[in-house]
Amino acid sequence: MRLHFEAVNYRAEIWGNSEAISAHEGGYIGFELQIDDLLTKGENFIAVRVITLLITRDIVIDGLGCDDMLH
């Protein structure tokens, strides 16, 4: 089985059956994961944690701060 993501803005962390399997960084870049080896018979669990760009006065991420406009 393959997981296909068109885009995740900005960072994705992917788990399969409670095991961290991958992470991807880049908001407008698609990616795929082959997960056949992680699947078991019966029910499986997939989780994706998405970490977005937070723009506040105190945080600068990748050089972007509160005064920068994202398009």
- 19 within some domain: yes
- 57 within some domain: no
Tell me the residue range of the domain where 45 lies: 2-51
Question: DSSP character for 43?
Answer: -
- 58 within some domain: no
- 35 within some domain: yes
What does the pLDDT read at residue 70?
Answer: 60
Question: How many domains would you assign to the chain?
Answer: 1
Q: Looking at the whole model, is its pTM more than 0.85?
A: no
- 68 within some domain: no
Average pLDDT over residues 6-17: 92
Q: Is the separation of the CB atoms in 47 and 33 below 8 Å?
A: no
User: How would residue 14 be classed by pLDDT, with cut points 50, 70 and 90?
Assistant: very high
pLDDT, tens only, 19-69: 999 999 988 889 999 999 999 999 999 999 998 876 556 666 677 766 666
Rounded Cα distance between 9 and 25, Å, is 8
What does the pLDDT read at residue 57?
Answer: 60
